[in-house]
Each structure stands twice: as structure tokens, then as C-alpha cells.
Amino acid sequence: MENHGSVVTHLLSQVKIGMDLTKVVLPTFILERRSLLEMYADSFAHPDQFIKIVDQPTPRDRMVQVVRWYLSSYHAGRKSQVAKKPYNPILGEVFRCHWDQEGEPLENNTCKQEVGDGPVPWCSPDQLSFVAEQVSHHPPISAFYAEHVNKRIQFDAWVWTKSKFLGLSIGVHNIGRGLVTLLDVGEEYSLTFPNGYGR
């Protein structure tokens, strides 16, 4: 492996205070092994918390459950690993995945009804499906969408991640919004994304 001292010196020679860090060339060994689009799927690492939103009896209870899910979405990604910068997705890159609802029996896939369209057409209506796409290169904007067909709940979002060198720290600003939509009760919950700072 390369001498880490020379790597640090090389990185520091590229940055100035206030500089956009997306312009800095990083060696691959310090990058996350997955794309930013895949990392956005971590928001649903606790799909049960998201799906439970529609099961709440009152608007107040549903709002509290939105907050529970939102806070749980920031817990999942780091399993005692150091946070790393993910790979930048290329324009038009797409990531799709789905989760089984906990407690639901897993049936033979040949017997399951498929949704047929939507973010993950091969999903069944009782699965939470997710799709993310890089929709702009300059500025780098990602859009993502999740839905549970049977529970009639959707989440759509867009985010533009900006990072800056602040001298002794790094700041990551997430510009964008997310919207949880409950189709049966006609409620929408608008969310923003937190900024992060590291030393």
C-alpha cells in the first residue's frame, strides 16, 4: 500500500479553504466500496419503521412515526466502520432494490404476483421497493423514490450533496427535500436532509 503520509500531503496540496471537495481526486482505497445511490437506500434499512407510518390511527401518531423512521434512517449505514466518501454516480446511473416486510411469510417467487411497473417491476405488492437515479451532473443531483404498493405509502426525494474544505474540518451540505405521501389518508410529510461536519 502507498505511503499514507505522501497521500495526505498530496490531498492537502489540492485543497484550499472553501473549496468544493468534489473537485479533489481521491485514491480509491479511501473511498466507500459503493455508489452514493446505493448509500441512499440505507434510508430504508429499517423498512418496518417506514411501513408502520400508515398503520398509525391519528395524524399525530403518523407524524411521530415519520420522525421515528427518519431518525432510524441515519442509524443504519455505519456498522462501526469509518465513514468514507462513496463513489460519485455517473449521469443516468440507476440503483434498484427491495425489502421484504418483516413478519410476512416468504413465498415461492414463482407464485408471487409482480407489480409489473414502478421502481422495481419484479417486486411483489407486499415488498418495499426503491429506485435511485443520478439526474444531473452539474450540479450533481440524485433523485430517489420508494413505495409499498399494498400499504399505499410513497417517498420521493432529490438531493444535491455539496462538500467543502473548512480548514480544520470538512462540511457536507445536503440540499434538497423528501416527501412521504400516505395515499389513503391524503397526508404528506416534507423532510429536509441534515448537514454533516467531520474533523
Task: Please spell the DSSP secondary structure of 73-118, one letter per residue.
Answer: TTTSS-SSPPP-EEEPPPTT-EEEEEEEPTTSPPPPTTTSPP--SS
pLDDT by residue (tens digit) across 110-147?
Answer: 456 777 777 788 888 999 999 999 999 888 999 999 99
Question: Which pLDDT tens digit goes with each residue over 64-118?
Answer: 999 999 999 887 655 656 667 788 899 999 999 999 876 555 554 445 677 777 7
Q: What is the pLDDT of residues 11-49, one digit of tens each?
A: 767 777 877 777 777 777 777 788 999 989 999 989 999
Residue ranges and CATH numbers for the domains of the chain are: 13-77+84-101+112-198 (2.40.160)
Is residue 1 scored above 50 in pLDDT?
no
pLDDT band for 3, please (50, 70, 90 cuts): low
User: What is the sign, positive or negative, of the torsion defined by CA atoms of 78, 62, 172, 140?
Assistant: positive
Specify the pTM: 0.82
**DSSP structure class, residue 187:** E
**Is 36 within 8 Å of 87 (Cβ atoms)?**
yes
Which among 92, 74, 91 has a CA at the least distance from the CA of 83? Answer: 74
Q: What is the pLDDT of residue 77?
A: 56
Q: What percent of the chain has pLDDT over 90?
A: 48
Nearest CA to 18 among 198, 195, 162?
A: 162
Look-up: residue for cell 413465498?
107
The C-alpha atoms of residue 146 and residue 141 are separated, in whole angstroms, by 17
| Number of Cβ within a 10 Å radius of residue 62 | 19
Mean pLDDT, rounded, for 151-170: 90
Tell me if 158 sits within 8 A of 177, measured CB to CB. Answer: yes
